[in-house]
Structure 1
């Protein structure tokens, strides 16, 4: 069993541990604040994430201009300074995805998290992936219109530069079949649980061989995220389940709650851009109480 050959494949892509998906801070004028993004990433790096995924879903990828996207990636690469791999979000319209991929490559990013093209899935999706993966190593994000079957996943895994698949659908049966099919031909292929607040579902994903996951909680409570990674299962009923219930109250809270949490922990990252809405005062109070109880639970 061998990996698909690729001159673009990143060397020593160690993504073990909690994966950090920083928010994108906006100021009162609504513009990206570079210093705050750098500080947010610095604070996260102090807790030893396995990688930084900038300008992705939690970073409001769909709300950023190409210039802002490129700026965010440069800041992440400069701040990480080689300590951990840096991945950038890319995707959507083909031309925009190529521009994002090239800007990320020029900034020194290690790879890309490839978001789905808008409402599109068809025979040409492999060509879309192939063109982007020619720029930097790619992790394909399966969600929305992208719902792969095992045969298609194997086809995509054979594309030079494609190194992984992140699942945002939550279909465990589908993912089990994909994992088994792909690992027959790619032992080195990476699989990720990409559901919001993935810790709640991670036991199920771990059971089918998917150990890597993205942690929104790491953005605002890395102590809690690391405690869960180290085996503190008390956090599932006491912290993560109530957090998921809170998140489900308003569409878009998967991002808005994270930005509120970052602010509650001392870094004002501003609110989200439309069409997302800020967290209501009532829900922010619930979040604050949850963070306090979670931190108390994992305190030494």
Structure 2
């Protein structure tokens, strides 16, 4: 799907999980179901083997298998982006594998642990991006926070850079970046549980977000996004109160639930994934699982899957 026209996915972005069998192996059939579900539910893109897909815990063979499944299931319907990162040689290797396997682009995750100066971050991204003509999206998070001059240098030098995903939350910096680079980039909200902060991000020009809950209640994420676009404050308030904030309280109960709670939600909704993750992430505890089950039961009563955003 890569073309001369450089653009990044917009709207609600799909981030599949890494499903495992009962003996801890990658479950390709469950992954294909997860990806197919996201595409059928209208998500604009698939970001495979990223944070929700437990990038940190995958070996090279599992990574390739996940990308292959994503490209095969997407079959050109939506763009497929991969997660790359870590040390430079590892990131470059994953970019090359992604290109060979037919991905449309990649999301550059932060380098491992080390905090670099802005010049060091520039050179890190430079070394990765120069290895491929695939679209690249940079991820502001942890130890990889680009300031305006550094981001401008990178965008000026590399037309492959089509977007910036923010998972850091510095709104003063985000305002500066959006107003300085404007539509030269697409702006993606990548905060943990992005719906929670999307109302604020939309106000400064971010038009896309990664949706964890779309893995199990995508129709509610669509209702939310439509209300956001239409300025429907009452619907936004109701969805925040009934669904988003209660789930977010559970998510914050344990470290790693940003990943584990997705699988628990999918399990509750009858999708073929069990409530298992790889260390250091821990599975959702029984009490928190029951709490999520209660939230979803109530949410589906008020927002049944048949409800679609009203057209205006």
TM-score, normalised on structure 1? Answer: 0.92
1:215 equivalenced with 2:211 (yes/no): yes
Q: Distance in 2 between matches of 1:146 and 1:288?
A: 36
* Structure 2 residue aligned with 1:265: 269
* Structure 2 residue aligned with 1:169: 168
Q: What SS class does the counterpart of residue 200 from structure 1 fall into? A: helix
| Contact 1:167-1:192 at 8 Å conserved across structures | yes
Q: Match for 2:283 among 258, 266, 278?
A: 278
1:82 equivalenced with 2:76 (yes/no): yes
| Runs of 4+ with >3 A deviation | 8-14
Q: Distance in 1 between matches of 2:126 and 2:151?
A: 13
Cα drift, residue 180 of structure 1? 1.3
Cα drift, residue 12 of structure 1? 6.1
Which stretch shifts more, 11-20 or 155-164?
Answer: 11-20
Q: Match for 1:156 among 149, 154, 157?
A: 154
Q: Distance in 2 between matches of 1:89 and 1:128?
A: 15
Q: What SS class does the counterpart of residue 210 from structure 2 fall into? A: strand
- Deviations, residues 237-268 of structure 1 (Å, cap 9, x unaligned): 22111111111110000000001111111123
Q: Distance in 1 between matches of 2:10 and 2:163?
A: 14
1:172-191 alignment to 2 at 5 Å?
172-183=171-182, 187-191=183-187
1:83-98 alignment to 2 at 5 Å?
83-98=77-92
Q: Match for 2:65 among 71, 88, 94?
A: 71
| Contact 1:66-1:96 at 8 Å conserved across structures | no
Unpaired segments of 5 or more residues in structure 2?
A: 228-234, 308-312
Q: What SS class does the counterpart of residue 81 from structure 2 fall into? A: strand
Q: Distance in 1 between matches of 2:146 and 2:8?
A: 25
1:1-300 alignment to 2 at 5 Å?
11=5, 13=7, 15-120=9-114, 121-122=116-117, 123-134=119-130, 135=132, 136-160=134-158, 161-183=160-182, 187-231=183-227, 232-233=235-236, 234-270=238-274, 271-299=276-304, 300=307
Aligned length: 290
Q: Distance in 1 between matches of 2:6 and 2:174?
A: 25
| Contact 1:66-1:99 at 8 Å conserved across structures | no
| Contact 2:6-2:162 at 8 Å conserved across structures | no
Q: Distance in 2 between matches of 1:260 and 1:293?
A: 16
| Contact 2:121-2:144 at 8 Å conserved across structures | no
Q: What SS class does the counterpart of residue 158 from structure 1 fall into? A: helix
- Deviations, residues 58-97 of structure 1 (Å, cap 9, x unaligned): 0001110111111101110100000001000000111111
Unpaired segments of 5 or more residues in structure 1?
A: 1-7
| Contact 2:8-2:163 at 8 Å conserved across structures | no
- Root-mean-square deviation (CA, aligned residues, Å) is 1.5
| Contact 2:7-2:162 at 8 Å conserved across structures | no
Q: Distance in 1 between matches of 2:75 and 2:176?
A: 38
TM-score, normalised on structure 2? Answer: 0.89
Cα drift, residue 295 of structure 1? 2.1
| Contact 2:95-2:106 at 8 Å conserved across structures | yes
Q: Distance in 1 between matches of 2:153 and 2:17?
A: 33
- Deviations, residues 18-75 of structure 1 (Å, cap 9, x unaligned): 1110001011111111111011111111111110001000000111011111110111
Cα drift, residue 9 of structure 1? 7.0
